[in-house]
Structure 1
């Protein structure tokens, strides 16, 4: 088992775009996901002055879903009003850079479109990249804050956001806290959290 920290995956299943966020944490395992309209927030449940452990994690727009591990979520969503996804990721991640905590935690961010196109970005202390993904059915591109890089994995079949979140929780990574699944369906984006 590998400790990946915050983990983000984007893919296609039966032609439907999906994205998942898997929160793994050694230092702050008591956290929950709070749904507010078209957004989801990670809320820390223990007392700390660490500014990075509570943050907006998902922002749903008409054409895109934005998922990240920090405050950059809302800024990327705003940038999509006037920039294409690759430029929005590049500009916002470059401006925010990595988190100034004890671990120099990288910022990760993903955008999935209702048209099945996807993008991932990574801003670390010694590494920066933004990629346009060539999505294939039944597969997911995954990145994480630690020890993963960018990999393409076969992803198990699922029906809907609930099952997606459950499948994300089954990934072989350590210190899992919760997972959020986002799936584009005919009626729009669907959200779920596990457990």
Structure 2
């Protein structure tokens, strides 16, 4: 099954928050994730920079974090959500105001904007989406060893059915691999790259995983 981009949030078996993001693509597979100025960013591979002129939505920061919050998203809304959290706005209001204000992507597929947020201090987790037919935001908690996810296509409604268990991870590198081919995600095709954040004693450890080799 093809889901497009995927955001996920979970609590590991050892009670640590993890956020994950996966780029899956049929149309623009020539993308990688790199660390740029402290954020993880989706950019075209060398030689594919002209893809930006075909689709302005394919380059953006997909992960932002500080000692308290981590945010993953499939577009330029990731930055303002993170900035609103830093300013003191609640998770619910940060997600709702930005998603509603920026709207879905006005491409050929009316691609939804999706995001996941986590707070270390409150152990609050959230998923949010804006589709062409409305906005959904859900703030929730999870038991250890469980995760929930949301995608741009097919699994694009916030539902308890979009969840899984067996989330026994010890590092952000493991989380970046998990969302590519483990758990529920092993059922979904066309992975390109992934990013993740996992809770530490002082903040979040982050990593990324690119399936495509570049020169």
State whether TM-score is above 0.5: yes
- SS of aligned partner of 2:56: coil
More strand by share: 1
1:61–1:77 contact (8 Å) kept in structure 2: no
- SS of aligned partner of 2:178: helix
Distance 1:61 1:23 in 2: 22
Distance 2:38 2:22 in 1: 19
Q: TM-score w.r.t. structure 2 length?
A: 0.86
Pairing of 1:27-106 with structure 2 (within 5 A): 27-45=27-45, 46=48, 47-48=50-51, 49=53, 50-80=55-85, 81-106=87-112
Pairing of 1:44-193 with structure 2 (within 5 A): 44-45=44-45, 46=48, 47-48=50-51, 49=53, 50-80=55-85, 81-115=87-121, 116-148=123-155, 149-150=157-158, 151-170=162-181, 171=185, 172-193=187-208
- Structure 2, unpaired ranges of 5+: 211-215
Q: CA RMSD in A?
A: 1.2
Distance 1:11 1:82 in 2: 23
Number of positions where the alignment pairs a residue of Structure 1 with one of Structure 2: 194
Distance 2:37 2:17 in 1: 20
Distance 1:82 1:11 in 2: 23
Distance 1:133 1:142 in 2: 12
- SS of aligned partner of 1:78: helix
Distance 1:128 1:98 in 2: 9
